Amino acid sequence: MSLSTEEYPHLEQDTGDPTNEDGLPTYDDLAAQNGPNSRFGRWRGWIEKRAAERYAEVSPGERSRRRERGWGNEEMYASESYAEFPPIPTITSEPPTPSPMTLHIQTNDLRNLHISQPNQPASSPPLPPLPSVSLKLVPTHLRMHQFGSRFLPHTTSPIRCVLSILEGKLLLIGHDEGLSVLDMYPRSESAGITVKGPEEAQARSIWTGEGVFQMSLLEMDNDVRGTPQGVVLALVGPEVESPSSSKDLESTRVLRMYNLTSLISLAKWAVAQKGARPLDLRKPANWNAQTPSKRHRPQNSIARGLKSLIDSPGNHHGPESHSSYQALLSPTPSIDPAAGRNRNSFDSSSWDMIDELPLRWATDFVSLATPGSRLSTCSVLSYAIWNNDARGGRLLAIATKANILLYETPRGERAFHFLKEFYTPLVPRSMTFFQQTVSDINRTFSDLGNRSSPHRRTDSSSTARESRRLSGSLSSMTANYGTQLSLFVIFDKKAGWIRLADSAVGEVELHDDGAKQESTSPTHRKSRTSIDTNAFGKWIPPAFCELPFEAPLQTMKVTLLTRGRRTHILPNPLPTNPTTYSPLRIINWRNNTTNVVARIFDGSEPDMDGYSTPAYLQLISLGELGIEVQELSLLSLLGKGKGKARTDDALYVEQDTGGDAGFLSVGGHWDRQQTMYQSLNRSFSSLSTASHASMETIQLEREKGVYCWCRKGLEDWRVFWLGGSLAADYEDEEQ
């Protein structure tokens, strides 16, 4: 079965080559040349299968659209008849033949003119955007995706937070100068392409003058039209270089609850305006005058819905606290463009109202601090949220300069109620909720200093040594109080914990491994200098993950504590005194880290050739010099075989990002471009409720990547994405 030029005239062949008399080689020719065990022969069946699948994936309508654009694959249409295309007209000297469609003017039956008109062909839908080119960090399974042009920054000030909206189509970016939006699928009318891909994403500025430092989505739902509605908690403050900002920039940062619909409208407006006219919010006096008030709002305003999330003094059981879910997320008529144009009581012109819409959207918020509350007189540094998925409810911890305020939302309610106040002798820089196992000794031995008392630090090294000495003799007198929720608080040079139930406090210390504890490092060796440096490094927020066992539906929760260049993998819930427990593994990094992210991959089943990928733990370190990745096999991490596990089983890679890098949030599947593009037209409820029970949705939830930031230059900050899965690796191998 040989191919010849006469038999297939549309194929390009090198007919001038005397050694190639029979045209293109066949599979049998290649097998005869390279042998039956060659790589090409072994993949023959796979190539034929993939070629058939790729041909079947293209619909007839798609082939027709490609043919109209003139860039279709001619080999794909080799089996189609060419007689259906009209012949090329011949130019002659004869006068042109009159067209059968002559020009005439219709003067009667104009009402039914649209019936007599010929059916115009419907415009073809835009082609899906081309997938972005990713960088695989070999030898690990991690991939790095960068958005937009490599010459244009996303922001000119440090990026603090991101919030993905509209299923990843838009990405809100909070930075020191204000709020921006990253359009992942910008539209363009040139060259017949209407939708571009993430590699051509464009950043647009929404407002300036009010920096956004933290954002969290508290609630979200879709209305009957599929419009997302919800509440966004944001920590905002004056711009760093704003004249209104004082010497202490953190003194005026406040917590606000924004309407999600208004933020989405603002993002769409900024994309449509191409960021040419961002809002200027540098004058606080204007904010007080423009802040929505009750006398400017109707009864069903979003302001009342947002206020139902706040516990007002003296009204803990008001009707606002028990308002329905749809009542909270009802649209605001005063900020709806269509409703505003139809309102007869509005004195100004419609054009003036349209110009005011962006400002109304930007001021559609309610401050979390009510007048007369403890929070109204404090400056907010950061906050942390804990969602109790099992019992319901939510906890909100707010850090100020001298204390930590704790709010709660009981089960069945939606209002924030003030719960407790914790005093902190040092300024808290970061907070994280975590589970802690609590065990106490009989009161007879409380004078030995082994107990943690409320608002008293157990910071002495002699106390720790005494605790380890008495742990064996007093084990029978130890009372176990179960798992308690606590706060992991990071200060400038120390880290401590605060137990919420009894307000007990303590200082966190890592286990001193010395020379006996197994560790994993890029160089597989440690020096005393590195140990001393790690001991005095800075603490970073802990990370959590669940390690799967061989038995189905069984996992082991672990906590990752990091200080300096060393990460300890400890059991979760975390013991009260981690120094008395040897960690599962100690991870050493080459550079100082600011964030550590843990991801789990379950591995793959053996294929036809018997090859399989074992389950592994992927650790990502983001620091001052870029990215570091280590992948550990779960068999070696959880194995209980004889002897020490191998320390050289970890895969390591280091990637330079051009400067320091940091963690923003979890989300996105940019390694699966087709999945991301198809989810743009799906509602949030269909993904989170109808399909939540499916195994595919659960797997996608576990394979979410992470959004990160990096600094490229003096005024050049970018957002990039880290992720990857075994399925994406297999797709690349097939291509």
DSSP string, 430-478: EEEEEEEEEEEE-GGGGGGS-S--BT-----HHHHHHHHHHTTTTGGGE
Buried b (16+ CB within 10 A) or exposed e, 692-711: eeeeeeeebeebebbbbbbb
b/e burial code for range 365-379 (CB count within 10 A of at least 16 → b)? bbbbbbeebebeebb
So what's the pLDDT on residue 314? 45
Cβ contact 373:314 at 8 Å: no
Asked if residue 441 lies in contact with residue 478, where contact means CB atoms within 8 angstroms, the answer is yes
Residue from 448, 455, 458, 452 nearest 440 by CA: 452
With 0-12 / 13-18 / 19 or more C-beta atoms within 10 angstroms meaning exposed / middle / buried, residue 411 is exposed
- pLDDT for position 221: 84
Q: For 206-225, write each residue's pLDDT tens digit.
A: 999 999 999 999 988 887 77
Q: Distance (Å, rounded) from C-alpha 709 to C-alpha 665?
A: 10
pLDDT per residue as tens digits for the range 483-529: 889 999 999 989 999 999 889 999 998 877 544 455 566 654 444 43
Count of residues making up the chain: 735
pLDDT at residue 181 in the model: 95
Long-range contacts of 676-684 (CB under 8 A, 24+ apart): 676/167, 676/168, 677/128, 677/129, 677/185, 679/167, 679/168, 680/166, 680/167, 680/168, 680/169, 680/185, 682/167, 683/222, 683/226, 684/167, 684/220, 684/221, 684/222, 684/228
- Higher-scoring residue by pLDDT: 119, 52: 52
Q: Give the percent of the chain with pLDDT over 70.
A: 58
pLDDT single digits (tens) 667-694: 988 887 665 555 554 444 444 444 444 5
Q: Answer whether 408's CB lies under 8 Å from 450's CB.
A: no
Highest mean pLDDT: which range of 59-68, 194-203, 537-546: 537-546
Helix axes of 350-362 and 260-272: crossing angle, nearest 10 degrees = 120
Nearest residue to 384 (alpha-carbon basis) of 394, 397, 393, 395: 397
Integer-rounded Cα Rg, in Å, for the chain is: 32
- The whole-number average pLDDT for the span 250-258 is 83
Give the end-to-end CA distance of the chain in Å, rounded to a whole number.
Answer: 27
Phi, psi of 328 (to 5 degrees): -65, -40
Distance between CA 223 and CA 51 in Å, rounded?
Answer: 43
β-bridge pairing 651-655 and 626-633? antiparallel
Residue 17's pLDDT is 54
371-395: pLDDT as tens digits: 888 888 888 999 999 998 777 789 9
What mean pLDDT do residues 417-437 have?
92
Which residue in 49, 51, 52, 74 sits closest to 63, CA to CA? 74
Q: What local confidence, expressed as pLDDT, does residue 732 receive?
A: 56
pTM exceeds 0.85, yes or no = no
How does pLDDT run across 717-726, given as a tens digit for each residue?
999 999 987 6
Q: What confidence score (pLDDT) does residue 456 get?
A: 42
Omega into 243 within 30° of 0, i.e. cis?
no
CA distance 534 to 530: 6
459 pLDDT higher than 50: no
pLDDT at site 370: 84
Rounded to an integer, what distance in angstroms lies between the CA atom of residue 652 and that of residue 351? 59
Dihedral, 364, 368, 372, 373 alpha carbons, nearest 10:
180
Q: What are the two backbone dihedrals, phi and then psi, of residue 155, each rounded to the nearest 5 degrees?
A: -140, 160
Please state the rounded mean pLDDT for residues 170-191.
88
pLDDT bucket at 650, cuts 50 / 70 / 90: confident
700 residue type, one letter: L
**What would the two tokens of residue 173 be?**
């970016």
- Confirm if 461 and 449 have CB atoms less than 8 A apart: no
User: What's residue 638's pLDDT?
Assistant: 76
Residue 164 in 3-state DSSP?
A: strand
Burial label, 257 (beta-carbon count in 10 A; 0-12, 13-18, 19+): buried
What's the burial of 310, exposed, middle or buried (CB within 10 Å: 0-12/13-18/19+)? buried
